[in-house]
């Protein structure tokens, strides 16, 4: 019902917005809707992966030619838009998580969507043409970063799997080769320039092995979510090449890559950055080979399954030498080779070697997409068992130092989103492997409390909080992985469909 007093015109605010002052009598109800609209026919990115370079425009220009047309569409379709919002809120409520966790999920989705672009090669209404889907790495500005997609893929596959397919196809188109086989680049450009060539570089670090595993696991999840048999058939030759490349980076046949295994993640402890063989990568590589066994079948599938078994046996052998089966960050590594590769001093390597003996807070990272895809195998049971035992032996992972979250090994920084993945695996253990020990994490709730306390409505992905605000990374898309908490397939004994 309308308010008892007339609605005055909007007033400008100091930060460029607008506001209405409305008087409402006691007992009255006033519902208001506002349409925020924008339109640009300007080129937003350049595609320099082709010659001559092509400008890229917002995808909505295929349907609209002005901001007025956008407003007309929003007004005409307001009921449907409102209903979609209601369904999202209902999904959050049905998830059963607390209010702080629901806030974290919403912030994660906002942070992701604000980093995405649907682009086309022309700016006039008509045929859309070849779509481009680009995900900014938040404030880092890299485009279609593969290791970031390991988290964002959980949202893309659940809500809009067509975007996950476009990302997979963008990496396939940009593949290169080295002496070991196919290489998937870390990213496809920087800022507003799409090049199809990796822009990221850090001390010459080569993270090829993890990027191969990420693409394999994301392809496995996409196919499970959609049943896209045409994609599965078209990608079979590439998946075979990815498996060959991954296997060729394992020089000693233990199922864990030593080549291209550096800088697998920006995380703590520091030893993980330069490990020639880490427990983190061993778990992810075993999972990727189990995914290949599903996707390839036949002799190639069995060869991938053997690679997975080798990695799992390696993890088991190391765990058997440790107290309570605790896996250290580093598996036995060739430190002289690391010194030669990265020119670290003996003192630095000594520090890294010591750090390599501490537990790895993100050990379960590689299990996520097999769990979401409903994978079942004896090898996966063995892998999950050794990971669960190590995480239980490490003890509680998170605590609070005053208002500051801390990992219990005393470090202050890790990817927030990867801790959300660990919590997802805890939930998987609780519902699918109830006899196995689990850690019990509250990362999702802590994320919501932190964002709400600091007034952050978009997701930021770092534990590094000082002086009351996040100082390491600002806006970031990885938090979209939190959306997975709203529809966990293992609670329904299978893989859910979009």
Instruction: Please provide the DSSP assignment of 327-353 as one string.
Output: PBSBPS--HHHHHHHH---HHHHHHHH
Determine the pLDDT at residue 207: 86
Determine the pLDDT at residue 346: 41
Query: For 165, how many CA atoms within 13 A lie in the half-sphere containing its CB?
Result: 18
Chain centre distance of CA 62: 29
Domains of the chain in sequence order: 1-32 (no CATH), 90-492 (1.50.10.10)
Alpha-carbon distance of 35 to 38, in angstroms, equals 10
Determine the pLDDT at residue 10: 59
- The bridge status of strand 465-466 relative to strand 132-135 is unpaired
Determine the pLDDT at residue 275: 62
Determine the pLDDT at residue 64: 96
Determine the pLDDT at residue 415: 74
- 26 in helix, strand or coil? coil
Alpha-carbon distance of 156 to 402, in angstroms, equals 36
Residue position matching structure tokens 């100091």: 14
Count helices and strands (H / E) in the chain: 15, 14
Show Cβ contacts of residue 317 under 8 Å, excluding neighbours closer than 6 positions.
none
Determine the pLDDT at residue 344: 45
Alpha-carbon distance of 258 to 240, in angstroms, equals 20
Determine the pLDDT at residue 465: 44
Regarding pTM above 0.75, the answer is: yes
- Whether residue 301 contacts residue 230, with contact meaning beta carbons closer than 8 Å, is answered with no
Determine the pLDDT at residue 170: 97
Q: Which residues pair with 231 in a beta bridge?
A: none
> Residues in the chain with pLDDT < 70?
1-17, 202-205, 263-276, 332-359, 396-414, 462-474, 493-498
Show Cβ contacts of residue 435 under 8 Å, excluding neighbours closer than 6 positions.
none
């Amino acid at each position: 019902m309308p308010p008892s007093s007339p609605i005055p015109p909007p007033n400008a605010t100091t930060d460029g917005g607008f506001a209405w002052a409305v008087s409402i009598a006691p007992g009255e109800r006033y519902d208001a809707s506002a349409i925020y609209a924008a339109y640009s026919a300007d080129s937003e990115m350049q595609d320099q992966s082709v010659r001559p370079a092509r400008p890229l425009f917002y995808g909505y220009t295929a349907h609209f030619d002005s901001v007025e047309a956008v407003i007309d569409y929003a007004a005409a379709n307001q009921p449907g838009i409102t209903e979609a919002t209601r369904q999202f809120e209902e999904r959050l409520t049905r998830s059963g998580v607390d209010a702080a966790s629901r806030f974290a999920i919403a912030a994660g989705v906002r942070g992701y969507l604000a980093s995405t672009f649907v682009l086309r090669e022309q700016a006039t209404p008509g045929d859309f043409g070849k779509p481009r889907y680009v995900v900014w790495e938040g404030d880092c500005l890299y485009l279609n970063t593969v290791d970031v997609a390991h988290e964002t893929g959980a949202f893309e596959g659940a809500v809009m799997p067509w975007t996950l397919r476009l990302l997979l196809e963008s990496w396939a188109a940009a593949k290169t080769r080295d002496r070991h086989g196919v290489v998937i680049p870390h990213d496809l450009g920087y800022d507003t320039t799409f090049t199809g060539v990796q822009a990221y570089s850090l001390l010459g670090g080569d993270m090829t092995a993890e990027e191969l595993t990420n693409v394999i696991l994301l392809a496995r999840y996409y196919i499970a979510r959609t049943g896209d048999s045409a994609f599965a058939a078209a990608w079979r030759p590439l998946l075979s090449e990815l498996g060959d490349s991954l296997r060729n980076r394992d020089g000693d046949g233990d199922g864990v890559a030593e080549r291209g295994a550096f800088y697998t993640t920006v995380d703590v402890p520091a030893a993980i950055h330069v490990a020639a063989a880490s427990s983190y990568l061993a778990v992810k590589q075993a999972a990727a080979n189990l995914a290949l066994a599903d996707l390839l079948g036949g002799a190639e599938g069995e060869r991938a399954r053997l690679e997975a078994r080798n990695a799992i046996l390696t993890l088991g052998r190391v765990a058997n030498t440790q107290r309570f089966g605790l896996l250290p960050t580093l598996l036995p590594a060739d430190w002289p080779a690391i010194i030669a590769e990265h020119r670290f001093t003996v003192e630095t390597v000594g520090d890294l070697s010591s750090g390599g003996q501490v537990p790895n807070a993100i050990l379960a990272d590689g299990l996520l997409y097999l769990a979401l895809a409903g994978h079942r195998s004896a090898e996966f049971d063995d892998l999950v068992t050794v990971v669960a035992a190590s995480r239980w032996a490490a003890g509680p992972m998170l605590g609070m130092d005053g208002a500051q979250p801390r990992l219990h090994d005393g470090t202050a920084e890790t990817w927030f989103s990867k801790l959300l993945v660990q919590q997802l695996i805890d939930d998987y253990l609780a519902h699918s492997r109830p006899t196995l020990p689990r850690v019990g994490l509250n990362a999702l709730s802590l994320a919501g409390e932190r964002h709400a306390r600091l007034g952050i409505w978009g997701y930021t992905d770092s534990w590094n909080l000082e002086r009351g605000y996040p100082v390491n990374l600002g806006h970031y898309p990885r938090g979209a992985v939190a959306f997975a908490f709203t529809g966990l397939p293992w609670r329904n004994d299978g893989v859910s469909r979009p």
